[in-house]
Amino acid sequence: MHTEEKDRIRNAIDTIKSGGTVVYPTETVYGLGADAFSEEAVRKVYGIKRKYLSQPLSVAISSFEMLHEVASVDSESLELITELLPGPVTVLLRKKKVVPDLLTAASEVVGVRFPDNEIATRIIKETGPITSTSANVSGRNPPTCVEEVEIKADIIINGGKSKYGMPSTVVDMTKTRATANEEKANIKIEIKRRGACYDRVLHVLRSKAAGKGLHGFPMP
């Protein structure tokens, strides 16, 4: 990694730590990042995107240890998640209290991304979880290169053309309540949005979920 690129990443890390916003590359589309644990920073992201506060944002992480910081994950769920991440997938899980209600639009569910992009993960490793939302005005096409970025952020990092050039596939893995005849809650699995690598995600869920006795995955 060149010195100039290292400097840009360092500047991005410092900016996020000081409450600022950064446009960063991922393998799907370019994202708009800010400290996910700071309500003030999260509010800036909503303002830049002109996004309604009733529409939740996702969180980007850089390790499975960080996943446990933001969401409740049991061993059975984690085994499946490690087959999907890192990669172009957003996993919906039950959030932990440290995640602001503002970010999830008061929902107990949070979308989690673990980008397969070196620049993104180098930033997140140093800052902790950041917002994961496309770097565009809400309702417009997400950018796949810096030339397509139209919003204003404190720093914009050029990471070249996005590998997939389309949003992530969204997989709902939230818990359902146990019934009277069950010792524990089952895991509800549903593909909420077809995006990048949809066929691979479907293959993983079909091959792994069915064999683990996970409940509620429809077979498209």
Kindly report, residue by residue over 40-74, the tens digit of the pLDDT.
999 999 999 999 999 999 999 999 999 999 999 98
| Across 28-41, average pLDDT | 98
What is the domain partition of the chain in residue ranges? 3-166
Q: What is the mean pLDDT of residues 178-194?
A: 69
Of the chain, the percentage scoring pLDDT greater than 70 comes to 88
Compute the average pLDDT of residues 188-201: 93
Please state at what angle helix 3-17 crosses helix 118-127, rounded to 10 degrees: 40
Specify the higher pLDDT residue, 178 or 57. Answer: 57
Query: Dihedral (C-alpha) 35, 172, 53, 28: value to the nearest 10 degrees?
Result: 60
Per-residue model confidence (pLDDT) at position 98: 97
User: Which CATH number is associated with domain 3-166?
Assistant: 3.90.870.10
Q: What sign for the dihedral angle of Cα 91, 95, 98, 102?
A: positive
What is the reported pLDDT for 214?
Answer: 47
Q: Taking residues 192-202, what's their average pLDDT?
A: 96
Burial of 29 (0-12, 13-18, 19+ CB in 10 A): buried
pLDDT at 213: 45
Residue that has been written with the tokens 């970010």 in this structure? 103
